[in-house]
Amino acid sequence: MSDGTNYMKYVVIGVLVLGAGLVAWRNFGNSDEPGRSVGIVAPQQLSAAAALGKKAFDTNCVQCHGANAAGTGKGPPLVHDYYNPGHHADGAFYNAVMNGIRQHHWRFGNMPPQPHVGQDKTRMIIAYVRELQEANGIVYKPH
């Protein structure tokens, strides 16, 4: 029986080590995290709305979402396939800005409401983000 008991101990230890490795990989090795991805390609030229949106983004969003919406340690990249228009329509961005949003794709915590941005600036910020996304190959995909 001791051989079977030793075998079970090794199986349990192996499962625990594998589990710890998966947790570490998930928390520290996810290549989708900001700062671990390739650079964001900025469009050569922005539409008028997106140009105004870039100014509003740089004033209100860049602290957490980074330059060119590439993400920071405080907030996720918006130039990411998670935010393609088929998965996060424009209404999701309005909702996040106006009402805040609970953490769901990333480990940055909840986003607080940003009511000082307002709907007009939010519309322009969305135009900017969508043009950044398109320049980086992020297009509508049904969810």
Per-residue pLDDT for the chain (143 aa), expressed as one digit of tens each? 566 677 777 766 756 655 555 444 444 344 444 444 458 999 999 999 999 999 999 999 999 999 999 999 999 999 999 999 999 999 999 999 999 999 988 899 999 999 999 999 999 999 999 999 999 999 999 88
What residue spans define the domains of the chain?
1-30, 48-135
The confidence score (pLDDT) of residue 18 equals 58
The confidence score (pLDDT) of residue 20 equals 52
Gap between the Cα atoms of 106 and 88, Å rounded: 14
pTM confidence score: 0.73
Tell me which of 1.20.1740.10, 3.30.300.30, 3.40.50.150, 1.10.760.10 is the CATH number of domain 48-135. 1.10.760.10
